[in-house]
Amino acid sequence: MQTPSVPDYQRVVDAITEKINSGELEPGAELPSYNELHVEYDVSVSTVQRAMLVLRAQGLVEGRQGKGTYVTVRPLGGASGASTDGDAGTSAEP
């Protein structure tokens, strides 16, 4: 393989991000277990854990203790899931 090497955890992050962005994994969908992801992507469980930390930091997934990891519900256009300070406090409802 002559292409630049992408770290395994980043490969997992990129693949799951693409599934989320394409709609294959919809908001609220449960991700496969760490063990299933480790088999699917042929990486170690610790690599899957690192990828999940990155996805959580990006606001794409959230872990629920004892329940699993789920795609977050986020507003359209929120590519990183980060909130903007510009609309803070403007949640007045009609």
Q: Is residue 66 a part of any domain in this protein?
A: yes
* pTM of the model as a whole: 0.74
Report pLDDT digits (tens) over 54-63: 999 999 999 9
Q: Is residue 30 a part of any domain in this protein?
A: yes
Positive or negative: CA dihedral 10, 13, 19, 21: negative
13: Cβ contacts below 8 Å, ≥ 6 apart: 51, 54, 55
Q: Is residue 85 a part of any domain in this protein?
A: no
Closest CA to 61 of 42, 46, 74: 74
Report pLDDT digits (tens) over 6-57: 999 999 999 999 999 999 999 999 999 999 999 999 999 999 999 999 999 9
Q: Is residue 87 a part of any domain in this protein?
A: no
Q: Is residue 80 a part of any domain in this protein?
A: no
Strand partners, 71: 61
Domain of 21, in residue numbers: 8-74
Q: Is residue 27 a part of any domain in this protein?
A: yes
Structural domains of the chain, count: 1
Can you tell me the distance from the alpha carbon of 68 to that of 62, in angstroms, rounded to the nearest whole number?
Answer: 9
Q: Is residue 1 a part of any domain in this protein?
A: no
Q: Is residue 16 a part of any domain in this protein?
A: yes
- Alpha-carbon Rg for the chain in angstroms: 15
Which CATH number does the domain housing residue 64 bear?
1.10.10.10
